[in-house]
Amino acid sequence: MIKWIKRIVIGFLSTILILILLLVIIKPIPYYIINNAVGIKMQWYGYDKEGNEMIEKSIKKLKNFSALQYHSASVQNTKNGNYNKAIEYLDKASELEPEEVDGYYGWLLLYYYRDYEKALFHLNRYDAFTPDFVDYPQGDNILFTKALCYKELGQYSKALELFNNAIKSELKEHDENWISHQIYFQKARTLHLLGQQKKAIEYYDKTIKSWNKSAESFYYKGLAQIEISDELVGLQNLNIALDLIKKGYKTSDSYVALFDEVYQMEIEKTIIEL
Amino acid sequence: MRNLIYILILTIFFSCNRKSGELDLCGLGVLKPYYLTGLDYKGGIYAIKEKYNQEYIPVKKGKISGIVKIRFDVNCKGETGNFDVETYNLKYESTTINDSIVNQTVLIAKKLNNWIPGTNDDHENINSFKFIAIKLINGEIKEIVPK
């Protein structure tokens, strides 16, 4: 009996010793792979500093840190606002495998960082890898994402050209019902910004036809109508938009603000100021 | 070894951050990230931008372009505290920005008092942490993210 107890104790102590040797002194490659994964998970729960320290240590020890690993390390840093780290890692990932990373990177710079020039650089480079194929970074038609960049930079004519190209590319494979609400809506916004209110209204109507609860379409359509002196109908549409938004109908995203997203307070303010 | 302790903490508290400071945190003081709790602001990012539009006075001297990131906690009552600031240039490198810009942006963030607390799976209000990043070009606010 004592012999067995001795064996168990020695076995237990040996295991502890081996673990200490492995995890504290030797630290083999798998240790740093796990360390990196744990660091990323810790950041998810908000332990930024500690998580980043673990990730950085793993990067130093693991030679050939891959683009995917750099990409993964950047994601949580963006969500926690650690922009220096997020961009440092994404720049490295994009340098290593631009054909894999640039689509996501461009999309992120567009929606999260609102950095349109840098977004265009990465989206253009990504698009150039497959010139005969329309890519869909994060699910968005790449021509649409590039058009958004130009629109937000104030280059409306270039944006309009790209929105038209995005629609054409969608129609190659599908009918008009397939065109996403956001593509028509953003085309309408661009026409509106170019001062082409009547044409813009035509496209706001297309979005309403595809989704009759689009608060943003009713809102901007109402504004366009008021601008061309159709005040009564315009105000009616602003009130429809307000009613819809109060009922929770509008386009939004869990993580990022969409372009020209409307808010109840915004519509109320517009109506009061008319 | 320290990393092992982190893992242990993580396991015990299952996804929770803890902090003590100027803000009276609810319960055990557990904090969760805004994206896990659904923390929101009444009127959304539009209302936050409106507050900055009304109160921020553009600065024209010194380092006046870059990003001010303000991280803070929101307790279960919607009160804020434990403000922490980091500043970046437009290439996203850590840098310093004119104090007047930083002080103003933090002061306005402290005046944001319409937070709708985050909730847990049982729909009880809980503590969260959040950040806002304010992008400035030539001393003027160009963008505030995230939503």
CA distance B140 to chain A (A): 15
**Arithmetic mean of pLDDT, A69-74:** 94
Range A149-164 average pLDDT: 98
pLDDT band at B9 (very low <50, low <70, confident <90, very high): low
- What pLDDT score was predicted for residue B17? 54
The answer to whether the beta carbons of residues A211 and A181 sit under 8 Å apart is: yes
The residue type of A26 is I
**With contacts defined as CB-CB under 8 Å, which chain B residues touch A41?**
10
Q: Does A83 touch chain B (CB under 8 A)?
A: yes
- The helix or strand, by DSSP H or E, that contains position B30, with its residue range, turns out to be strand B30-33
Mean pLDDT over residues A139-158, rounded?
98
Q: Please, what's the largest Cα pairwise distance for chain A? A: 98
Using the predicted structure, report yes or no on whether residue B11 has a pLDDT greater than 60.
Answer: no
Give how far A87 is from chain B: nearest CA, Å.
7
d(CA A63, CA A159): 43
Of A41-55, A112-126, A178-192, A209-223, the range with the lowest mean pLDDT is A41-55
The token pair at A55 is 């990730």
What's the rounded Cα separation, in Å, for the pair B9 and B1? 13
Which of the four pLDDT bands, split at 50, 70 and 90, describes residue B22?
Answer: confident
CB pairs under 8 A between A and B: 88
Q: Does B89 touch chain A (CB under 8 A)?
A: no
Measured between CA atoms, the residue of chain B closest to residue A86 is B92
Task: Please state the length of chain B.
Answer: 147
Contact list, B143 vs chain A (CB under 8 Å): 114
Using the predicted structure, report yes or no on whether residue B20 has a pLDDT greater than 80: no
Name the residue among B115, B33, B41 with its Cα closest to residue A265.
B41
Question: Does the beta-carbon distance from B133 to A83 stay under 8 Å?
Answer: yes
**Those residues with Cβ within 8 angstroms of residue A5's Cβ, 6 or more apart along the chain or in another chain:** none
pLDDT band for position B12 (50/70/90)? very low
Nearest to A167 by CA among A195, A193, A196, A191: A191
What DSSP element (H or E) covers B119?
strand B118-119
Question: Residue B144 pairs with which residues in a beta bridge?
Answer: B134
Q: Does B24 touch chain A (CB under 8 A)?
A: no
A259 touches chain B (CB under 8 A): no
- Quick check: A80 and B7 CB within 8 A? no
Q: What interface predicted TM-score (ipTM) does this complex get?
A: 0.86
| pLDDT tens-digit readout, B67-98 | 999 999 999 999 999 999 999 999 999 999 99
Q: What is the pLDDT of residue B14?
A: 47
How high is the pLDDT of residue A189? 98
User: What is the model's pLDDT at position B10?
Assistant: 52
Q: Do B43 and A46 touch (CB under 8 A)?
A: no
Q: What is the pLDDT of residues B41-56, one digit of tens each?
A: 999 999 999 999 999 9
Query: Distance between CA atoms of A162 and A160, rounded to whole angstroms?
Result: 5
